[in-house]
Amino acid sequence: MAKMKFGSIEEDIVTREEFTLEQARGALAGETIAILGYGVQGPAQALNLRDNGFKVIVGQREGTSSWDKAMADGWVTGESQFSIEEAAKRGTFICYLLSDAGQISSWPTIKPHLTKGKTLYFSHGFGVTFKDKTGIVPPAEVDVVLVAPKGSGTSVRKLFKAGKGINSSFAVFQDASGKAREKAIAFGIGVGSGYLFSTTFQKEVYSDLTGERGVLMGAIAGIIEAQYNELRSRGHDPSEAFNETVEELTQSLIPLISENGMDWMYANCSTTAQRGALDWLPRFRDASAPVFKALYDSVASGKEAEIVIEANSRADYKERLAEELGRMRNSELWQAGAAVRKLRA
């Protein structure tokens, strides 16, 4: 496998040139891959694996929108789509892709089907890492592995269909067969990963929860609101405030950073922008550093897990979520965004 060096740090990296799709099929030959859950990651992983020639079935709660979505995607009731319990019984490679709250509530039903020789797979280290809160303790006689694509299920499927790959981490929590690492890598290649980097279940969930609450979602949304509100308070119109805060970021600068790196983006902006950005960067970094420290401490202590489990287990969670997202959608900031998107050339 490839080694990637960052100074004195050497990482294990696996690419699909080194571990081919043909090798992946061989490593999982004879396995019946059961995808339990058809919400965020389930559809993309199931469809990508099916398209790549693996034997896949899906497990859903009958009568739900997810069941109907799976049927629309070509999964046939009684042949390739079953109840969650039946899919777990039939599968040999059990992919536990329900929500974190769903994993907790379904665990007593799933655990009896995790018999010797099977593999239990996750795309998130939450349930196992916080087992004292979730009750998810895998039987000793099964392999327990993880592949975590670094993007939404929509991105996993979109990139796959475009002939590209998404970066993913992989980890082994329990190696009962002696082949758990090979299985994890094979699965990652099977779902369309461009390359995989090794981690642990704990590191995956710690970095994931920090990232979601930080730069990936929480922090960027908060910074956007702060700048937009400041521009509006200084007399700038909504369109101007939105374009200078969000539109230029997402439509111009982020793609340049993705393609060539931050330094290249800086080098290809005006000298005025370069100087100002370089001067203010340390102030934003230093101001946010204590917030990220507090965030990581909250994740590592299990506090964030407790909040998630308590909130997501409420019977009215979806209604509360819809209300919160509705306030965001109907705010002046994101109403301005909706108007700007309609006017894109």
Per residue in 25-73, pLDDT tens?
A: 999 999 999 999 998 899 999 999 999 999 999 999 888 888 999 999 9
Considering only CA atoms, which of 164, 159, 123, 165 is closest in space to residue 144?
A: 123
Question: pLDDT band at residue 2, thresholds of 50, 70 and 90?
Answer: low
In the predicted model, is pLDDT for residue 341 greater than 90?
Answer: yes
* Element containing residue 147 per DSSP (H, E): strand 143-149
Cα-to-chain-centroid distance, residue 238:
32
Give all domains of the chain, ordered by start, each with its CATH number.
Answer: 2-199 (3.40.50.720), 211-342 (1.10.1040.10)
Catalytic site includes residue 236: no
Q: How many CB atoms lie within 10 A of CB 86?
A: 15
pLDDT for 344? 87
The total number of residues written for the chain in this structure: 345
The rounded mean pLDDT for the chain is 95
What are the pLDDT digits (tens) for 233-277? 999 999 999 999 999 999 999 999 999 999 999 999 999 999 999
What are the pLDDT digits (tens) for 160-174? 999 998 999 999 999
Indicate which residue of 16, 50, 118, 124 is catalytic. 124
Cα-to-chain-centroid distance, residue 3:
24
Q: What are the start-end ranges of the H helices in 177-253?
A: 180-190, 201-213, 218-233, 238-242, 248
What is the pTM for the complete model shown?
0.91
Residue 119 and residue 141: Cα distance in Å, rounded? 9
79: which DSSP letter?
T
